[in-house]
């Protein structure tokens, strides 16, 4: 499957905010967004007048890049959200938040969404006792997400056992001793901590 393989720190600089694409590095002084908070490229520091379209585009790009999605995938979630009851922008973000790779990241099993996606792809994660290797799998309320029993003795997961988890979303629970968690409820817009103006994305796609 196609995926972005370039330098991810440039993506944060381009969007002008931290997208937390490299785990703990994003919280340290080594983060390029801290040292060079200007867009990448020769003319990155130049002042440009933002148009309505450019603002909408930047919000879409920010959301896509934060969740590690391609344009076709992202548009699919918008089309699905548009057919649902409620606010289209909020429905879209909630659908993306329910992706299995994002849930693994939110449970702090993976340090970043990219790493969490790799854990899912390689068959390290189970849902309700069954191995699921599809990162886009949408979790449901009551689903039990866990590290596969045969993988728990790997050094990566041994290091995770007993660790303290900070900022675990209220709609999820996770036990670092058993390396298993549960989707206590479906997320709401208030549970999504990304600063995204989703109404601008809706305006962009509805033109």
How high is the pLDDT of residue 139? 97
Find the helix or strand (DSSP H, E) in which 198 lies.
helix 198-205
Strand 130-131 to 180-183 pairing: unpaired
Q: In what order do the strands lie in the sheet with 180-183?
A: 130-131, 125-127, 144-147, 180-183, 172-175
Q: Which two tokens stand for residue 201?
A: 């994305």
CB-based contacts of 141, cutoff 8 Å, min separation 6: 183, 184, 185, 186
Question: 145 or 1: which carries more pLDDT confidence?
Answer: 145
- Look at residues 22, 1, 183 and name the one whose alpha carbon lies nearest to residue 106: 183
What's the mean pLDDT when you consider all of the chain?
A: 85
Q: What angle do CA 85, 86, 88 make, to 5 degrees?
A: 100
Which pLDDT value is given to residue 50? 76
Structure token pair of residue 4: 């972005």
Phi-psi region of 83 (alpha: psi -120 to 50; beta: other; left: phi over 0): alpha
Q: Flag the least confident range among 110-119, 161-170, 177-186.
A: 161-170
Q: What is the pLDDT of residue 92?
A: 96
pTM: 0.81
Q: Which residues pair with 181 in a beta bridge?
A: 145, 174
| β-pair type (180-183, 144-147) | antiparallel
Tens of pLDDT, residue by residue over 120-160, are: 999 999 999 999 999 999 999 999 999 999 999 999 999 99
Please report the DSSP string for 23-54 in residue order: GGGGGSTT-HHHH--S-SSTTTTS--PPPHHH
pLDDT of residue 166: 78
Structure tokens at 49: 């007048």
Extract long-range pairs of 6-14: CB within 8 Å, 24+ residues apart: 8/114, 9/33, 10/40, 11/65, 13/37, 13/38, 13/39, 13/40, 13/44, 14/39, 14/40, 14/61
pLDDT at 26 over 60: no
Q: How far is the C-alpha of 61 from the C-alpha of 85, rounded, in Å? A: 25
């Amino acid at each position: 499957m196609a995926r972005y393989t370039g330098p991810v720190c440039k993506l944060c600089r381009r969007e002008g905010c931290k997208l937390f694409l490299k785990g703990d590095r994003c919280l340290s002084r080594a983060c390029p967004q801290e040292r060079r908070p200007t867009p990448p490229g020769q003319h990155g520091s130049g002042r440009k007048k933002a148009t309505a379209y450019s603002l909408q585009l930047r919000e879409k790009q920010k959301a896509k890049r934060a969740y590690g999605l391609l344009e076709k995938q992202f548009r699919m979630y918008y089309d699905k959200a548009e057919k649902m009851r409620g606010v289209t922008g909020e429905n879209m973000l909630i659908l993306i938040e329910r992706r299995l790779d994002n849930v693994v990241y939110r449970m702090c099993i993976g340090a970043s969404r990219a790493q969490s996606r790799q854990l899912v792809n390689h068959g390290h994660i189970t849902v309700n006792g069954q191995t699921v290797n599809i990162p886009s799998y949408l979790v449901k309320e009551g689903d039990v997400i866990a590290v596969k029993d045969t993988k728990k003795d790997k050094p990566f997961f041994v290091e995770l056992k007993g660790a303290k988890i900070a900022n675990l979303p209220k709609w999820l629970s996770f036990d670092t001793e058993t390396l298993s968690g549960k989707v206590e409820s479906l997320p709401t817009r208030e549970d999504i901590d990304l600063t995204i103006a989703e109404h601008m994305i809706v305006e962009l796609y509805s033109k």
